[in-house]
Amino acid sequence: MVEFRIDRRTGVATYVQIVQQTKQALRLGLLEPGDKLPTAREVVEATAINPNTVLKAYRELEREGLVEARRGLGTFVRRSLGAAPADSPLRAELSDWAARAHAAGLDRDDVAALFASVLDEQFHNGQFGDGRFHDEQRFNNTKGEQA
Same domain, 34 and 73: yes
Task: Pick from 39-43, 111-115, 140-144 the range whose average pLDDT is largest.
Answer: 39-43
Same domain, 101 and 70: no
The pLDDT value recorded for residue 136 is 39
> What is the arithmetic mean of pLDDT over 55-80?
96
On whether residue 145 sits in a domain, the answer given is no
Q: How far apart are CA 114 and CA 39, in angstroms?
A: 37
Same domain, 35 and 58: yes
> What is the arithmetic mean of pLDDT over 114-139?
61
Q: What is the pTM of this model?
A: 0.66
Same domain, 73 and 95: no
> Residue 48: which region, alpha, beta or left (left: phi > 0; alpha: psi -120 to 50)?
left
Place 123 in a pLDDT band, splitting at 50, 70 and 90. Answer: confident
Tell me: pLDDT of 44 over 90. Answer: yes
Same domain, 27 and 69: yes
The pLDDT value recorded for residue 125 is 56
